[in-house]
Amino acid sequence: MTIKFRPYHRPTDFDRVGDFLIRHYQPGNRDGNWIQPMWEYMHSHPFLELSALDRIGVWEDAGEIVGVCTYESTLGEVFFNLHPAYPQLKHEMLEHAERQLWGTSKTGRRYMQAFVNDFDAEFEAMVEAHGFVRDPEDDRPMYQYIIPDPFPSISLKDGFRLKSLQDDNDLHKIDRVLWRGFNHPGDPPPDEIDDRRKMQSVPNFRLDLNIVVEAPDGNFAAYSGTWYESTNRICYVEPVATDPDYRRLGLGKAAVQEGIRRCGALGATVAFVGNDLPIYKSIGFTPVYTQHCWVKYQT
């Protein structure tokens, strides 16, 4: 065993890390690693700290990736993805995080949130021994939905219409529903359109799997991003937003369902979402595991 560590290099490693996540996926995501669409979505996120990508750690054995220690979009959030035959790397990955992945809060305080699967008591004990303290408020649940066949009918209020971005890829309408849907006041600033282009720039982004609900006035009332990973036949839901003017009408639920239905038609058998909001439970999502948040501050 000749394990070597090196920094992440996006031009050569983006696909290789994705392949690593695909190859070691276990049914039901019981491996506890990210699924490949999460890695891809990360690289499309407008808030991704691009200048820090080389702080992501990659471990290889004989040229094969066996571990990845990464943040999600901003420094300070740490996630551990590991080949099941290499549990001994956990300590080294945690030490790498403490060297490279600290974040700075809005008040200027240096912090780190280490996310550890709730079924990994050994690793939880390790991060606690390193001075981390549990912070249940920021836990990350993973939920799954076994896609039924035939798929149930999708209900929609009169006057509203389900569409995909393949039908209408209006970046301004997309920007508006995401801005308002994530509870920002008013209309979005005009300089965000490039962020929406970035969201569509990664290799497996599909216009036909990103679903919107069009309101009677032509604006988008809800949005559901959906990703399909064909090797393991899985669907991933991210992001989802509903304009506050149109909430409690079932529009977000309908958009999520339509995205999942389309992935099911492509061959997906299960959908995942990293959230436990009521909208997902109402569809039929059930818990798989939770990534416990362990936080540490520099003194």
Residue 114 CB neighbours (<10 A):
27
Residue 209 near residue 228, CB atoms below 8 Å: yes
Quote the Cα angle for 294-118-15, to 5°: 85
pTM above 0.85, yes or no: yes
What is residue 1's predicted lDDT score, i.e. its pLDDT?
A: 66
Question: Total domain count for the chain?
Answer: 2
The DSSP call for residue 114 is E
- Is 280 part of a structural domain of the chain? no
Do 167 and 264 fall within a single domain? yes
pLDDT given for residue 175 in this prediction: 97
Q: Does residue 121 form part of some domain?
A: yes
Verify that 66 and 114 share a domain, yes or no. Answer: yes
Any domain includes 152: no
Residues 41 and 107 grouped into a single domain: yes
Q: Which residues contact 3 (CB under 8 A, 6 or more apart)?
A: 59, 60, 61, 66, 86, 89
- Domain contains 107: yes
The candidate with the shortest Cα–Cα distance to 4, out of 80, 57, 59, 54, is 59
Q: What is the pLDDT of residue 286?
A: 98
Sign of CA dihedral 238, 243, 249, 255: negative
Whether 116 and 80 map to the same domain: the answer is yes
Asked if 12 and 132 sit in the same domain, the reply is yes
Report the C-alpha gap between 169 and 164 in whole angstroms.
8
Do 68 and 28 share a structural domain?
A: yes
Give per-10-residue mean pLDDT for the chain (299 aa).
94 98 97 98 97 98 97 98 97 98 95 98 98 98 98 97 98 97 92 94 98 98 98 98 97 98 98 98 98 95
Residue 188 lies in a domain: yes
- Whether residues 118 and 7 fall in one domain: yes
Question: What is the pLDDT at residue 11?
Answer: 97
Query: Which structural domain range is residue 181 located in?
Result: 161-268
Examine the domain organization and report whether 32 and 128 are in the same domain: yes
pLDDT of residue 46: 94
116/28 same-domain check = yes
**Same domain for 131 and 206?**
no
Question: HSE of 86 in the Cβ direction (CA atoms, 13 Å)?
Answer: 22
What pLDDT does residue 237 have? 98
User: Would you say residue 56 lies in a domain?
Assistant: yes
Q: Is residue 153 part of a domain?
A: no
Q: Please, which residues have CB within 8 angstroms of residue 88's CB and are 6 or more apart in sequence?
A: none
Say whether both 167 and 217 belong to one domain: yes
pLDDT at position 191, please? 86
Q: What is the CATH number of the domain that holds 258?
A: 3.40.630.30
Domain annotation covers residue 151: no
